[in-house]
Amino acid sequence: MAKTCTVSDACIGCGMCCSICDAVFALNDEGRAENVLGDIPADLEAGVEEAAANCPVQAIEVK
């Protein structure tokens, strides 16, 4: 089963997730990160998990 991830309103737009996994995360027009892929492909799961672990405000939830 594919994993999903969401970015909460707690995001401060630091860009850490984008620098770790730019294939999944990008800053939107409001300067906050968002998941641009939807479901996470298996080959990107490790990068998403790393981004979530390094988010300074724990705004990324991976399921």
Q: What are the chain's domains?
A: 5-62 (3.30.70.20)
Q: So what's the pLDDT on residue 26? A: 98
Would you place residue 1 in the very low, low, confident or very high pLDDT band (cuts 50, 70, 90)?
low
Reported for 12-18, long-range contacts at CB under 8 A and 24+ positions apart, including other chains, are 12/56, 12/57, 12/59, 14/56, 16/51, 16/54, 16/55, 16/56, 17/51, 17/52, 17/54, 17/55, 17/60
For residue 32, pLDDT beyond 90? yes
Which pTM value belongs to this model? 0.93
